[in-house]
Structure 1
Amino acid sequence: MLLKAWSTVLFLLISTACSANEAEIQKAIESRLGVKVESVTKAGYFGLYEIYADGNLFYTDEKVTAILIGGDLIRSQHALNLVDLKTNRNITEERLRKLTAIKFSDLPLDRAIKQVRGDGKRVLATFEDPNCGYCKRLAKDMQKLENVTVYTFLYPILSEDSLKKSRQIWCSADRAKVWNDWIIDGKTPGGRDNCDTTAIKRNLEFGRRLNITGTPTIIFADGERVPGAVPLNVLEQRLSQQK
């Protein structure tokens, strides 16, 4: 995509357009950049407007004379961030979390590996590649969680070997055991990989629609998505907020 291809912060000058209306700003941005704009909102700083398009955030003035944009904005380490210095809040990150939230009820949980510990009242879902080092770190931390239900979506995006391992795990009689044997203990999956693995293909299609570009990606019950292996204390904090 055009926005994701830029790897440095750019000030892109655009021909002037007398736009104080959010609909007009949307039209101007779409015509100039060739992207589908999902929302235009006043940023609350410097008279800027927040533009959300293609899973990314960038900013423009009311006349659309210039835009401020950074590269790889879909990840947590943004090349461009709007930060409120009074509160030390990362406004860009907060807004992206809200805009990229996923309804937990919309997740196809039948295509995930389900593990229940204790009463299982607290829930979260993860998208993981079996060859992802950060996924292995996350899995070890999640073993320490109590009273939780974890839905793991096999999401092999790193290599052909990732796809093979995912198929072997999905085809096994005890998916959770084989997954844990590999992701935690390093015991390579064996057995066949030629069962019906349509679920994995559909997970990949589903994840791409949601712009899930890295593993692990964690989705909490309130729909917030968090990329990367977050520490155990953060997991506990977020799970404790579930009602």
Structure 2
Amino acid sequence: MTIRTNLSLGMLVGMLGLSAHAAPAEQALLAALRQAYPATTFDSVVATPIPHLFEVWMGSNVGFVTDTHPRYMIFGRLVDVQTMRDLTAPGLQQRGAANTQAAPPATERIDPAQLPLADAIATTHGSGARTLYLFTDPQCIYCRQLELALATIPDVRIYNFLVPFQGRELPIHIWCASDRVAAWQSALRSATAPAAPLPHCAHPIDRNLALAARLGVQGTPTLIFSNGVRETGVLDAHEIEARLSSSTVAGSRAGTTQE
């Protein structure tokens, strides 16, 4: 695996050098990234105002790489602090609109009853008395950060819907594993697919992607609480605990009112 990775990086640098005069820098970098990392779906590469820095689009996710050191990718947003203009926002909005079409706004509540729980990997902490739904990608750095906070939350059952925003190979490996929970937890530590061939099993990865688009889930991680409130991004343990408590209270009140 190490030899294969080194060869890919060497080929990547070589391709960039050879194609610099034959094609625009964006196309050269896009082709090189696709060849070096075939498990990730790269849609497009866009130049930024910073020399040698490029936006790399993977579905609705974006990273930033330099054409001099494309091995390293930064996730986040590029902001002009002089004008306080978010340079990444237009691309996110454009891709979000294209991917979701008539999907509900990202702030609209989601009815947990419409979530197909059989298509999620359930992990339970303590009694599992509370419920949390999570759209997540094992290769998403923010998802791995969120897991550190989730690991400290007691008495919650988490339904993890794997979405392949950064490639299908690793999510499929996780779902097809004999122990999905163990495979999921292992992937959070390594974020790389096993060296074994891609397994063939009935998996929900494509359905999860369609579900995310239908619900307007445009990024990972996206948390959905039992009262339908959604939050996208990394929350700390205190925020998660507070929202779990408020959603549980709201659910209890709703049940009392219906009675």
Which of 219, 222, 232 is the matching residue for 1:217? 222
The answer for the alignment partner of 2:134 in structure 1 is: 126
Distance 1:96 1:212, change over 3 A: closer
Give 1:222's aligned amino acid.
Answer: N
Secondary structure, aligned partner of 1:105: helix
Distance 1:117 1:132 in 2: 22
Secondary structure, aligned partner of 1:120: coil
The answer for the alignment partner of 1:30 in structure 2 is: none
- The C-alpha deviation readout for 1:111-166, integer Å capped at 9, x for no partner, is 000011111011101111111110000011111111000000001112xxx31000
Structure 1, unaligned runs of 5 or more:
1-69, 75-94
Secondary structure, aligned partner of 1:152: strand
TM-score with structure 1 length normalisation? 0.56
Distance 2:141 2:118 in 1: 25
- Report matched runs for 1:55-66 at 5 Å: none
Which of 96, 106, 116 is the matching residue for 2:114? 106
Distance 1:96 1:203, change over 3 A: closer
TM-score with structure 2 length normalisation? 0.53
Structure 2, unaligned runs of 5 or more:
1-88, 95-104, 250-259
1:145 is aligned to 2:153:
yes
> CA offset at residue 178 of structure 1?
1.0
Distance 1:147 1:103 in 2: 22
- The C-alpha deviation readout for 1:72-129, integer Å capped at 9, x for no partner, is 669xxxxxxxxxxxxxxxxxxxx963xx111111111100000111110111011111
Matched pairs, number? 149
The answer for the alignment partner of 1:177 in structure 2 is: 182
Secondary structure, aligned partner of 2:224: strand
8 Å contact kept, 1:126–1:153: yes
Distance 1:216 1:187 in 2: 15
> CA offset at residue 206 of structure 1?
0.9
